[in-house]
Amino acid sequence: MKINVLYLGRLDCKKFHLIECRDEQTDILSPVSAILIQHPDLGNILYDTGNSPLYHKAYSEEMLRTYPVGEFISIESALSEYGLSVDDIDMIILSHLHFDHAGGLCYFKGTKAIKNIIVSETELKNAYWKVMTNQGGAYIKELFDIKGAVYKTIAQDTDLAPDLQLFIQNSHTPGVLGLVLSTQTKGNIIVTSDTVYTRENFNSELPPGGKINKTKKEFYDNLKLIQEKSKTYNAELLFGHDYEQIVEWAGAKEIF
Ligand SMILES: [Zn+2]
């Protein structure tokens, strides 16, 4: 299994949206990313797809104001760096259906990957319920309700392969898929996605500020799950929106 972290640009937002803090004026760079997993048995897997190229039209004014797109790199061009096109992807795993994770699905129209999208069942139900009741927020229907899309939902933690496990988290949204990746050179890696945005959230046990989480309890319950999993697997953590880490991992050579 070969793993590459793909850097897909940034959202330039206020720090308190990611990490609770008193000062609501401090800025933070929030990277957008995907993970390319080239697996000997499962083929080319993409975990997340980044922002939509039509962000300036598709995203609501509130979202663009809260999470301004500071830099946009399409999943298509990020894949081309590895000599791959959207047609080479066999499976897409979406951590959740927010715009900065599902926004690149549009590039996969007509490909085999669009018929093979893994997402948690609670996430898919929640996303549709939110957008159809006019409380979409970071869910934007046209980004995930794509022509030809076939979602394969999972309702419990699932091993896609012995070295690639999916686990369901209930924080940030009700069904964020995390990954446990077993590598030969870097040991086990746990990918948290947006349940833990940054290393600072994890190390200082700080939830996000702002309105994204309904309660802090969800954050702390999920943090406990991640703390326990990281001990069980003796794993390194890859966080959802940690600029320093994403830039470092994206710049590093592939992980085997
Ligand atoms: Zn996100």
Percent of the chain scoring above 70 in pLDDT: 98
CA angle 232, 194, 175 (to 5 degrees): 80
pLDDT at 84 over 70: yes
pLDDT at 251: 92
Structure token digits, residue 89:
């992807």
pLDDT at 154 over 90: yes
Give the count of beta carbons closer than 10 Å to the beta carbon of residue 195.
Answer: 25
Measured in Å, residue 195 CA sits from the centre of ligand 1 at 9
pLDDT at 96: 98
Percent of the chain scoring above 90 in pLDDT: 93
Please enumerate in sequence order all residues whose Cβ is within 8 A of that of 93, keeping only pairs 6 or more positions apart, or say none: 45, 46, 47, 48, 117, 118, 119, 166, 177, 179
Instruction: For tokens 């590459």, name the residue.
Output: 4
Measured in Å, residue 99 CA sits from the centre of ligand 1 at 8
Summarised one tens digit per residue, pLDDT across range 30-70 is 999 999 999 999 999 999 999 999 999 999 999 999 999 99
Helix (H, G, I), strand (E, B) or coil at 193: strand
pLDDT at 212: 64
pTM summary value? 0.96
Q: What is the mean pLDDT of the chain?
A: 96
Measured in Å, residue 31 CA sits from the centre of ligand 1 at 9
Measured in Å, residue 102 CA sits from the centre of ligand 1 at 10
Instruction: For tokens 């797809």, name the residue.
Output: 49
Measured in Å, residue 180 CA sits from the centre of ligand 1 at 19
Measured in Å, residue 95 CA sits from the centre of ligand 1 at 9
**Domains within the chain, CATH numbers bracketed:** 2-251 (3.60.15.10)
Work out whether the CA dihedral 243, 84, 158, 1 comes out positive or negative: negative
